[in-house]
Structure 1
């Protein structure tokens, strides 16, 4: 039974929505300063990572004012973004919004006039109330990973309770549902660590309790899953880890094996466990959404031969969900376009001295493209192995080209000088929107592409300097030399 406050908010919004007489939203506002950043209004796509993104860059005057008008057909949330930070705006037909932004505080202390209720105030209060929790959660995460006493679950539960207090029943209700998903993911993660450090821990009972809790919080409903975005992917991923598969693979292959490589080595076992989560979906709508997310992750993480069966099965079973099938078809074809055998993506990027390098400059040898950034710890952990590779192979055999996604070029320069990397370093910038990275359909970093001497893609993100690169390259070099003789 919804609370009295929830009913009040829903009734207020219903009256507001019905009274609107046109199908557009107009926003105007001011920001105290913006610097080199952009002010962006972005749609939330079908898939948080792999969908094409529709975004509008707002023109901001020297005085810091901006305006924007767009057609809308129904109430929904769009994100106001500055760099990696975002603030949710409620777009409803016929709305005029006046926005005030304090850049140093963003996304806190954004004030919106034009809502029929104080939704901006509720969200600002929520952000203020969870600020300390958000700062403490990463600290507690590190403790749970090593078996130390921690307050991770208590903090996460407190966060979703605050979200319920401030946001439940408002048009920002999705943000409340999202915190429930975060809490449940932490509950699942705790199972993996508890059984690792406590031999008497009953993982089966703990898993059953998490599913009971998830059911009681309607986590597997379509409303919740859409609000979670990547939540179902994370829940299924960490659920699979509770069966000790990661520990078994590391025991067999070495403790330094990266998570990405574990996912490939143990794909079959992990996927079987992930699919068990689908048995808990509340409706066919929920099942279609959840499976769409898992199929997309398989396309993005595995070779196409492995991913194709689940992709084709989905298209056949859920043909009545065109939004999902059209997205998966688009993404599958995008990945296919950068699969081994396809031409390498051209680029033209500067090095630290401003000299421009292109892909064509390096034909005639194998080239490892390394997409990275200084804030990416897994990227940095690969560098010692890459230095050995660079020393062990001649430049006629192998060249390494680092392409940085670092948003700030000055930070990139500092990283280059600090890390003393001997191979070619080029600057792409713009985070995950860096053009070459996007053209290769990169989803995260480190991200590796191996290009052959003829300028064609040889391996697509299934190699790691710390794991299998030398074995793969030796085989390819031998094959190539035999072809040339």
Structure 2
């Protein structure tokens, strides 16, 4: 081997080492190391959650925190920019400011979480400021909770004033700081409550809904609600605001009066789609910034795909891909979500599953070929789910098991609570345990966004209806029609 060849290979090897070291450093710089201690764990589920692109239809970005027997833990969180995440213990959370390459050390007192959390690694004592904010926010939240029932009945309350005090408190503590998402979120919640107030008071004598809608939109502009930074800070982008805005037009009342029966919110969305969608879409004209408009419209199109038949959702989906091709993260998400919904649309095979019943036996979707099957995804804490039970019992008694079956798939995270619920209600149809909340495998495969969530499967094992049937509303007539056709 010549000296030249040896030198060339040595140089290549050295270059490889430099590149590898550089890549390693780069990876470290794009992560935040989070370590610390917690004084008590017990059976708590602990994780750090980063914000997904879509609150309901994007996969959750969760990083499990697994303390050892001494309560110490360490986890590396990939980040490419400064962002807020949530340290969550069961159903409570504390914000963490993550910055690429900057480590955080956390000390948690479980008994007083989320107030008592010490964080080392910030350039300013944001943990102290957040704890102080929580202490002052708590009395406001307590007053709000006490007055909300009267607020929903359109009685005179201080709810709107309290929500305003809350966002003003957040403004003093967080505006123009790395934690200013809390300010923007509080503003959004205040505006939504203003819109809900219009819905509750819409028919009161002397009240002018149109004037109040204009006032809310003007206030939203003055508070910079329609900026990308503000919309991104909201729980669900523009969704909560536009839904509350659309509800101020009294579509639900008109439909219930026309049909002579109360309707679930989902049925109102479906039956009053054109009016509601027109109202939601009209809000976009108040958004000037292109990125903010792309983000807002992403939410509206996603909701259409997830909640309406694809033939209704497809035109706006295709229009979005054309208009916002310069936002590849948004368009890629929509394309992926559209494909997933298409795979569970009517005519496609039902998702196979194997789940345990209360006796521990495994029940499979394929066991029910030859009959119509309603898949009911539910949980004991879901009041609309429970409200459907009397109607489901009526249907269950009306049809034979050769004709129709109901499979209840609980997404309750606690199996003990599931057993308590099925013992309490004593529903006669098969009760299956899925667990894992909204991440339950079959529910996720169907791209369910909320519960109750219903899938009607036909005798050949294909999806007939995708979450547009309700035992209390239209399932009875639909089954009669299907069974009559079958007899011909």
Give me the TM-score of the superposition, normalised by structure 1: 0.92
1:354 is paired with a residue whose SS is coil
8 Å contact from structure 1 (residues 347, 358) kept in 2: yes
8 Å contact from structure 1 (residues 191, 242) kept in 2: yes
Q: CA deviation at 1:86?
A: 2.7
8 Å contact from structure 2 (residues 154, 197) kept in 1: no
Superposed, which structure 2 residues align to 1:58-77 within 5 Å? 58-77=65-84
8 Å contact from structure 1 (residues 367, 452) kept in 2: yes
Q: CA deviation at 1:281?
A: 0.3
Are residue 406 (structure 1) and residue 448 (structure 2) matched?
A: no
2:217 counterpart residue number:
211
Are residue 261 (structure 1) and residue 267 (structure 2) matched?
A: yes
Structure-2 change in CA distance of 1:382 and 1:104 (3 Å): farther
Q: CA deviation at 1:104?
A: 3.6
Q: CA deviation at 1:71?
A: 4.0
1:240 counterpart residue number:
246
Q: CA deviation at 1:478?
A: 2.4
Structure 1: distance between partners of 2:110 and 2:390: 39
2:103 is paired with a residue whose SS is strand
Structure 1: distance between partners of 2:202 and 2:191: 17
Post-superposition CA distance 1:271-290 (Å, at most 9, x none): 11111111100211111111
Post-superposition CA distance 1:441-472 (Å, at most 9, x none): 01000000111111111111000001001111
Of the three residues 279, 282, 285, the one matched with 1:276 is 282
Structure-2 change in CA distance of 1:253 and 1:139 (3 Å): farther
8 Å contact from structure 1 (residues 181, 231) kept in 2: no
Greater CA deviation, 282-291 or 266-275?
282-291
Superposed, which structure 2 residues align to 1:275-424 within 5 Å? 275-424=281-430
Structure 2: distance between partners of 1:434 and 1:294: 25
Give me the TM-score of the superposition, normalised by structure 2: 0.91
8 Å contact from structure 1 (residues 368, 450) kept in 2: yes
Are residue 133 (structure 1) and residue 140 (structure 2) matched?
A: yes
8 Å contact from structure 2 (residues 63, 75) kept in 1: no
2:456 is paired with a residue whose SS is strand
Structure 2: distance between partners of 1:329 and 1:138: 40
Structure 1: distance between partners of 2:255 and 2:227: 33
2:451 counterpart residue number:
445
1:13 counterpart residue number:
none
Are residue 190 (structure 1) and residue 197 (structure 2) matched?
A: yes
Post-superposition CA distance 1:173-205 (Å, at most 9, x none): 111100000000001111111122x12211121
Structure 2: distance between partners of 1:235 and 1:209: 14
8 Å contact from structure 1 (residues 178, 231) kept in 2: no
Structure 1: distance between partners of 2:296 and 2:343: 26
8 Å contact from structure 1 (residues 403, 426) kept in 2: yes
Structure 1: distance between partners of 2:343 and 2:192: 34
2:54 counterpart residue number:
47
Q: CA deviation at 1:55?
A: 2.2
Greater CA deviation, 101-110 or 215-224?
101-110
Structure 1: distance between partners of 2:41 and 2:485: 53
2:363 is paired with a residue whose SS is strand
8 Å contact from structure 2 (residues 357, 433) kept in 1: yes
Structure-2 change in CA distance of 1:138 and 1:471 (3 Å): farther
Question: Max radius of gyration: which structure?
Answer: 2
2:161 counterpart residue number:
154
Post-superposition CA distance 1:200-229 (Å, at most 9, x none): 211121111111111110001111111114
8 Å contact from structure 2 (residues 237, 296) kept in 1: no
Structure 2: distance between partners of 1:219 and 1:146: 27
Of the three residues 64, 76, 84, the one matched with 2:91 is 84
Structure 1: distance between partners of 2:487 and 2:339: 32
Segments of 4+ in structure 1 off by > 6 A?
A: none
Flag structure 2 segments of 5+ consecutive residues without an equivalent.
1-27
2:112 counterpart residue number:
105
Structure 2: distance between partners of 1:211 and 1:326: 31
Structure-2 change in CA distance of 1:348 and 1:310 (3 Å): same
Post-superposition CA distance 1:21-53 (Å, at most 9, x none): 944311111122333333222221111111123
Structure-2 change in CA distance of 1:430 and 1:104 (3 Å): farther
8 Å contact from structure 1 (residues 182, 231) kept in 2: no
